[in-house]
Amino acid sequence: MNTQHDHEFPVPEGYADPHGRPIDIAALGRFIGAAFDGCTTCQDPELTLIVDDPPTCARLIELACVAIHGVAGGLPRSMLDPEVPGLASPEFRALATAGLDEANDAMFAACAAMTPEARRAAANSAADLLVGVMGG
């Protein structure tokens, strides 16, 4: 991580996954903050930490889904259906679909079952979607 500057994003604390595993709120806040600031120098190492921690990665996906749901009144098909064109990666779409109807435990389990490469693709989509929804 670049130690010459910091990136922060307010992520609600005291959150654990549906099985009680802790979420790395600090890494999540730094990653989202770096994404909003467009700082790939800081974003990339934080992304690696998140990808290696499935509950934290799933929380990132969940935050993106909540933000989009709040703005759009639901998740559009372009974020769920792999056949509909859109910006979300297939990995993000799979996790978003698994978490529909407040099935957070299913989404967290699906994230834990993914390879690190798949989690990275889902996390990158989540960051792009968060920045797109909340930053513009």
Tens-place pLDDT, residues 39-97: 888 888 889 999 999 999 999 999 899 889 888 888 999 999 989 998 899 999 999 99
Residue 61 in 3-state DSSP?
A: helix
Residue 78 lies in a domain: yes
Residue 13 lies in a domain: no
Residue 98, C-beta contacts closer than 8 angstroms, at least 6 positions apart = 106, 107, 109, 110
Count of domains in the chain? Answer: 1
Domain limits at 32?
25-134
Structure pTM?
0.85
Residues facing 22 on adjacent strands: 16
Burial (CB count <10 Å: 0-12, 13-18, 19+), residue 63: buried
Residue 19 lies in a domain: no
